[in-house]
Structure 1
Amino acid sequence: MAEVRARVQLKVGKNSTIPAEILSFSGLKDGVEHVALVFNQADKKQTTPLIRMHSECLTGDVFHSSRCDCGEQLNECIDKMHQQGGILLYLRQEGRGIGLYNKIDAYVLQSQGMNTYEANNHLGFEDDLRDFSDAVLMLNAMGLAKVTLMTNNPRKLKALTDAGITVEGLVATHAHVKDGNEAYLETKVKHGSHMLDLSKTKK
């Protein structure tokens, strides 16, 4: 495994520019161009840095889709890491691994009444095709064996611990409820066992 680093300025949400270091990797398992963004260089030496594994969501991250909470989670993560330091692993796993075109097909099925998992299954895919082994390789390349993980997804926690990464703490993201994604979030909790507290968002 090898990495290449470059300094960049980011502008996210309502923030002014945020400095970060972006890392590219060679020798990853699936050959996809995953990257890591390191925030607050002074905090790089923390023994258990804050880590988030964020799967790419073009519709949510870039175009702020009403169907999901991905863009809001990404902004929340970057805000927190800007304040206290951390490492964002941006993983190219669109649509839980089914790809952008299939994800749009799944959107059509969701419009017809299926939930996000049922739509993927109807298209011939499992609930979640993501493999986080490359995230483990990225952490290994950065010399990180102990982390604090920012997630609501138990699969991500299990993927790290099964690979020998010690997760010394969990930081939950907020429940980003908006018009159009209520059923999506409820399905993530009921079907995907996501650790989201939606009770405080009920009107």
Structure 2
Amino acid sequence: MRIHISNVAKLPTKFGEFKIQSFQEGIKEHLVIFKEPIGDIPLIRIHSECLTGDSLGSLKCDCGEQLEYALVNIADSGGMVIYLRQEGRNIGLFNKVNAYALQDKGLDTIEANHQLGFQEDERNYEIVNYILDYFDIKKIHLLTNNPKKIESLSGIEIVKRWPIIMASNKFNEDYLKTKKELMGHMI
């Protein structure tokens, strides 16, 4: 895996002052948003891109709320968000919109992905291990509900898993139920 690493830049946000760095993996350009001091056992959020939730405030998922929760907590205590460019569980924005259309017709998120010819989750977390190694991080507090993120970390001690539970709404109740009951998310 050939990775190109950008310089570090300041990133002032409504949540606090962070630093940002990009890790380019082929055509994917992932981000690390971090608050110093990172610490010996930093708070880490591995977050996959969700344009509709992160930027547009979609109520169909809990992604944007989870990202904001992570940034608020990291701004307070230090740590990092590893922002992976894996839109729609790595099926891309075009296919995600098509999956949304199928969900509008009654399919759940997994059925919609299958209908489009994808697995329930196409994401890959290999770059996360590279990034944590680059920052010389061996132990973490992990903000996640997703068991696949936990399983993907090799050589990293998860000292504590912090659940990241957001309130449901009428637009995402079924989505959250599917994540819990069929995908094993700890919510």
Q: CA deviation at 1:32?
A: 0.9
For each residue in 1:122-179, what CA deviation from the matched residue of structure 2 results, as whole angstroms up to 9, or x when unmatched? Answer: 100001000000111111111112111100000000001xx22111111110233122
Tell me, what secondary structure is at the counterpart of 1:83?
helix
Alignment of 1:122-201 (within 5 A): 122-160=115-153, 163-196=154-187
Q: Which runs of 5+ in 2 are unaligned?
A: none
**Which AA in structure 1 matches 2:150?**
L
TM-score (norm 2): 0.94
Contact 2:11 2:20 in 1 (8 A): yes
Q: Aligned match of 1:75 in 68, 92, 99?
A: 68
Contact 1:73 1:176 in 2 (8 A): no
Alignment of 1:23-62 (within 5 A): 23-26=21-24, 28=25, 30-39=26-35, 41=36, 43-44=37-38, 46-62=39-55
Superposed CA RMSD: 1.3
The residue aligned with 2:9 is 6
Identity of aligned residues (%): 40
Contact 2:139 2:156 in 1 (8 A): yes
Q: CA deviation at 1:25?
A: 2.4
TM-score (norm 1): 0.87
Q: CA deviation at 1:48?
A: 1.0
Number of equivalent positions: 184
**Which AA in structure 1 matches 2:9?**
A
**Which AA in structure 1 matches 2:130?**
L
Contact 1:72 1:176 in 2 (8 A): no
Moved over 6 A (4+): none
